[in-house]
């Protein structure tokens, strides 16, 4: 499969009164065609900011993309003006985004239909009638019953799960190449979460698109994604195919994460092994690896040297750690 | 006489909690929300009973009825042998010393202008458990140590603590009166995964240390509930549909809703995930204002028959304390 989106050395910083926040500090990743990629990390690790940077949706100021390239269809998206027409023709049309909060990401004073047809009219140049027909078709596709009448409803008339279905319909409306789903199901119940993830998987297959799932839930990634990136404090610390990474995690943070979540199929009476300490404060970060205070494998070398580069383990599996860890 | 390990701490029988829906100036009652509808279970001293279900199924309401924060519509709640379901408010307060609550939101549940020490110590004063200033301070410091907080931080205010530390303050407050029952209402849902394990382990260690401490653990995350609980009750639209020990729950779930719920929770292992059966439920949880007739799960159930829409299935024992409410099992 060929590479569809390639992000190189992306850096996004925020100037705050307390100091400089390096939310994303030189990450590189890629998304292949028709692939489902997972991006995992705890809150504040920069996973959402990295995705917003790709879409150039970072509020400037205080935020600024200071370095890096986002190569999509042979063009560097970061060369375009954030509000220019090139970026607009990509945002929503070729790269679509589904946000976490289905309650707040839809406009409450516009009907669902208007929010769908706006996209179709703007990006695809459809007339009103055609756009409305297409919108009904899309709503039906994402599993909204009696779409003809519900198209004129407002977001508050939909439940949380239904709103997220509408979001999926909007994201799909212009046949995007990539859909970025930022914590798409976090606010929802597990059975609704399962319904929506299954729907998203079917839809990206149907539309031959790629999907980037941003989440803190490793289970969701294990179920749906082919490849995974683990983020910590603005860096990618480990990446690989799901099979490799879950079977042989090589970064202390990944190992810690897998040991500290309760599993549904675990033995009774098994103790969880928490990761000690707290996630780092991103203000004025040290030049070395930020996981050191919580890392059971850290050595003097970790403190002396800069943040480690991603190092090849095998195949597509890379980890950013000086220690050589092989755990089952 | 010292009570034995196996005695029943809490016995809930046919608990019902209906909230009226009113309309107009006269507050005319137009409908009822049956938040908890005929729920019965027993809680042994020293065990952890988990309660899972989706939002709006009545888990929190059940917890609040046990604490008598709501006056139940009907049913009995006996706590340590006393029926507390109809006691007047004045007689409830001394009993509340024996039960406490840990809230979900570590940000909203602590008064931002109160110091951490006074949050933890307030129950001691309210319940008149300390006689002198020195005793109070000593007790607060001890509570801080028990939950793994530095006693030097008693003068700080909540915003100076991280989410995990705040939840520890909540745990310390819950422990202040040496309760026998703690109702944990989604205590880890708002925390980051790496911090969740710290709080779960703390709760487990406390139970091992204090013999007889009983938890009623409410959460929507089935893997967390199964990890911490001895027994698990599954709730759907105000009713318990299945109750069993947590080993059987995963290995042999009987109710179709429990099966769907289990299959909806992904396991962080791609090799396991490949082999798992996925049951995707259709539709959404119906409104509790107008629940379906008969078994309220029948419109979404894959094995429902005509009879299911007519009779409300009772919870019955299928052996070994495994109770399930389904006529098709």
- Radius of gyration over every alpha carbon of chain A, rounded to an integer in angstroms: 21
3-state SS assignment for residue B242: strand
- Measured between beta carbons, the chain A residues lying within 8 angstroms of B273 are 219, 222-223
3-state SS assignment for residue B200: helix
Task: Say whether A198 and B280 touch across the interface (CB within 8 A).
Answer: yes
C-alpha distances out from residue B236 to A162, B58, B115, B182, B316, Å: 20, 8, 39, 23, 16
Please write the tens of the pLDDT for every residue from B218-266: 988 899 999 999 999 999 999 999 999 988 998 899 999 999 999 999 9
- Measured between beta carbons, the chain A residues lying within 8 angstroms of B221 are 190
Closest of A7, A5, A56 to residue A35, by C-alpha: A5
Length of chain B: 329
Closest of A8, A98, A82, A89 to residue A48, by C-alpha: A98
Residue A326 pLDDT exceeds 80: no
Q: Which residue has the higher pLDDT, B262 or A279?
A: B262
Q: Categorize the per-residue pLDDT at B56 as very low, low, confident or very high, splitting at 50, 70 and 90.
A: confident
Q: Which residue has the higher pLDDT, A111 or A43?
A: A111
State whether residue B230 sits within 8 Å of chain A by CB: no
Q: Where is B284: in which H helix or E strand? A: none
Closest of B9, B279, B143 to residue A191, by C-alpha: B279
- Average pLDDT (B111-124) is 92
Q: Among partner residues B193, B201, B204, which is closest to A257 by beta-carbon distance?
A: B193
The Cα angle at residue A176 between residues A192 and A14, in degrees rounded to 5: 80
- Average pLDDT (A297-323) is 88
Q: How far is B267 from chain A (nearest CA, A)?
A: 5
- Average pLDDT (A291-298) is 88
Q: Where is B15: in which H helix or E strand? A: strand B8-23
For residue A1, the model assigns a pLDDT of 67
Q: How far is A243 from chain B (nearest CA, A)?
A: 6
The mean predicted confidence, pLDDT, of chain B is: 89
For residue B5, the model assigns a pLDDT of 45
State whether residue B251 sits within 8 Å of chain A by CB: no
For residue A328, the model assigns a pLDDT of 42
Q: How far is B88 from chain A (nearest CA, A)?
A: 37
For residue A176, the model assigns a pLDDT of 92
3-state SS assignment for residue B308: helix
- Average pLDDT (A62-87) is 88
- Measured between beta carbons, the chain B residues lying within 8 angstroms of A192 are 54, 284
Residue A154 pLDDT exceeds 80: yes
The mean predicted confidence, pLDDT, of chain A is: 88
Residue A101 pLDDT exceeds 80: no
Task: Say whether B195 and A198 touch across the interface (CB within 8 A).
Answer: no
Please write the tens of the pLDDT for every residue from B126-185: 888 889 999 999 999 999 988 988 888 889 999 888 888 899 999 999 999 889 999 999
Q: How far is B67 from chain A (nearest CA, A)?
A: 26
* Nearest-Cα residue of chain B relative to residue A247: B269
For residue A253, the model assigns a pLDDT of 92
Task: Say whether A43 and B267 touch across the interface (CB within 8 A).
Answer: no
- Measured between beta carbons, the chain B residues lying within 8 angstroms of A261 are 193, 196-197, 223, 268
Percent share of chain B, pLDDT over 70: 98
State whether residue B262 sits within 8 Å of chain A by CB: yes
Task: Say whether A262 and B223 touch across the interface (CB within 8 A).
Answer: yes
B8-98+179-324 folds as Rossmann fold (3.40.50)
Task: Say whether A272 and B197 touch across the interface (CB within 8 A).
Answer: yes
Burial class (CB in 10 A: 0-12, 13-18, 19+), B137: middle
Task: Say whether A162 and B265 touch across the interface (CB within 8 A).
Answer: no
Side-chain-facing half-sphere of A34: CA atoms under 13 Å: 7
Domain boundaries, chain B: 8-98+179-324, 110-178
């Amino acid at each position: 499969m060929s590479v569809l989106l390639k992000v190189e050395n992306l850096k996004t910083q925020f100037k705050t009164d307390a100091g400089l926040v390096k939310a994303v500090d030189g990450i590189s990743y890629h998304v292949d065609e028709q692939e489902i990629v997972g991006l995992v990390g705890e809150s504040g690790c920069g996973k959402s900011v990295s995705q917003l940077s790709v879409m150039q949706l970072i509020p400037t100021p205080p935020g600024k993309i200071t370095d890096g390239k986002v190569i999509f269809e042979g063009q560097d998206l970061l060369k375009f003006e954030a509000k220019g027409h090139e970026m607009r023709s990509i945002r929503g049309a070729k790269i679509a985004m589904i946000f976490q909060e289905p309650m707040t990401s839809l406009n409450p004073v516009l009907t669902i239909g208007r929010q769908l047809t706006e996209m179709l009219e703007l990006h695809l140049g459809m007339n009103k009638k055609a756009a409305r027909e297409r919108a009904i078709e899309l709503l039906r596709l994402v599993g909204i019953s009696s779409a003809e009448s519900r198209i004129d409803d407002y977001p508050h008339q939909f439940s949380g799960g239904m709103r997220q279905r509408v979001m999926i319909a909007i994201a799909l409306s212009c046949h995007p190449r990539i859909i970025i789903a930022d914590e798409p199901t976090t606010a929802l119940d597990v059975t609704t979460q399962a319904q929506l993830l299954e729907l998203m998987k079917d839809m990206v297959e149907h539309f031959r698109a790629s999907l980037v799932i941003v989440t803190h839930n490793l289970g969701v990634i294990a179920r749906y994604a082919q490849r995974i990136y683990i983020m910590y404090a603005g860096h990618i610390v480990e990446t690989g195919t799901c099979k490799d990474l879950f079977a042989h995690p090589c970064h202390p943070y990944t190992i810690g994460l897998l040991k500290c979540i309760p599993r549904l199929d675990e033995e009774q009476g098994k103790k969880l092994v928490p990761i000690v300490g707290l996630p780092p404060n991103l203000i004025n970060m040290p030049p070395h690896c930020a996981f050191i205070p919580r890392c059971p494998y850290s050595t003097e070398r970790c403190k002396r040297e800069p943040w480690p580069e991603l190092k090849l383990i095998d195949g597509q599996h890379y980890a950013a750690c000086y220690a050589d860890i092989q755990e089952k | 006489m010292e009570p034995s390990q196996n005695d029943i701490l809490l016995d809930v029988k046919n608990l019902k909690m209906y909230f009226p829906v009113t309309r107009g100036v006269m507050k005319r009652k137009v409908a009822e929300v049956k938040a908890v509808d005929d729920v019965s279970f027993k809680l042994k001293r020293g065990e952890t009973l988990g309660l899972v279900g989706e939002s709006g199924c009545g888990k929190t309401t059940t917890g609040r009825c046990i604490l008598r924060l709501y006056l139940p519509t009907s049913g009995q709640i006996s706590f340590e042998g006393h029926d507390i379901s109809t006691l007047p408010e004045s007689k409830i307060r001394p009993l509340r010393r024996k039960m406490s609550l840990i809230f979900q939101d570590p940000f909203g549940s602590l008064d931002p202008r109160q110091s951490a020490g006074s949050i933890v110590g307030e129950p001691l004063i309210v319940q008149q458990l300390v006689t002198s200033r020195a005793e109070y301070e000593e007790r607060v410091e001890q509570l801080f140590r028990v939950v793994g907080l530095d006693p030097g931080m008693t003068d700080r205010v909540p915003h100076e603590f991280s989410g995990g530390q705040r939840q520890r303050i909540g745990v310390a407050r819950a422990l202040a009166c040496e309760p026998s029952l703690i109702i944990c209402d989604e205590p880890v849902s708002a925390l980051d995964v790496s911090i969740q394990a710290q709080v779960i382990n703390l709760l487990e260690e406390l139970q091992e240390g204090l013999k007889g401490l009983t938890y009623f653990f409410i959460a929507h995350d089935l893997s967390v509930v199964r990890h911490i609980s001895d027994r698990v009750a599954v709730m759907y639209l105000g009713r318990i549909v299945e109750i069993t020990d947590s080993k059987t729950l995963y290995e042999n779930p009987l109710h179709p809703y429990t099966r769907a719920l289990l299959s909806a929770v992904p396991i962080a292992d791609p090799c396991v995930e490949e082999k798992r059966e996925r049951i995707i439920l259709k539709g959404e949880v119906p409104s509790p204002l107008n629940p379906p007739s008969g078994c309220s799960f029948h419109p979404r159930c894959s094995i429902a028959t005509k009879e299911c829409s007519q009779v409300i299935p009772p919870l019955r024992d299928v052996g070994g304390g495994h109770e399930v409410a389904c006529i098709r099992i």
